[in-house]
Amino acid sequence: MNVQCCIFCKIIAGQVPCTKIYENEHVLAFMDAGPVSEGHVLVVLKQHTTRLDLTDPLEMAELAKVLPKLAGSVKDAMVADGYNVLCNNGSSAGQVVEHMHFHIIPRKENDGVFNQWPSFQYPEGKADTIAEKIRRNLTL
């Protein structure tokens, strides 16, 4: 994705309007233009990066400082029973804008949003095999 074409970079630069909630040197939070519930907020880092795993840890720390407070503010303002904080990474995970961002989605009991994620049972030993693959790929 070319940064000049990124809609979130254009919003950050002030080239595209948004309904701003919060802004500091590193982070911008604004109302989602296509919300799944009233009060749906997007939180983006001003530094362009496409996925969470490609995000600079220091920049992520700046986002982590404000994300909990923003989530609580959304919950309280919307008198919500709860909220989801989501970060979709890659188109197969539902990412539409290739600029890493978090959704804060206020929820009410029986609102019909994300009713339930399907689950399954691993066959015997499969979880251990997958966990080992993940551990081998983990670099901290």
Q: What domains appear along the chain, each with residue ranges and CATH number?
A: 3-137 (3.30.428.10)
Give the span between the Cα atoms of 140 and 129, in whole angstroms. 21
Q: Where are the beta strands (DSSP E) in the chain?
A: 20-23, 27-31, 41-45, 82-86, 101-107
- The 10s digit of each residue's pLDDT in 19-52 is 999 999 999 999 999 999 999 999 999 999 999 9
CA distance 64 to 85: 12
The pLDDT of residue 114 is 83
Which 3 state secondary structure label does DSSP give 122?
coil
Q: Are 117 and 78 in contact (CB under 8 A)?
A: no
> For 83-88, what is the mean pLDDT?
98
> Residue 15 has what pLDDT?
97
pTM over 0.85: yes
Q: Can you tell me the mean pLDDT for 89-99?
A: 97
**Contact status, residue 101 vs residue 40, Cβ threshold 8 Å:** no
Structure tokens at 112: 């019909």
Tell me the mean pLDDT in the region 100-109. Answer: 97
Active site residue 101: yes
Residue of 40, 99, 101, 103 marked active site: 101
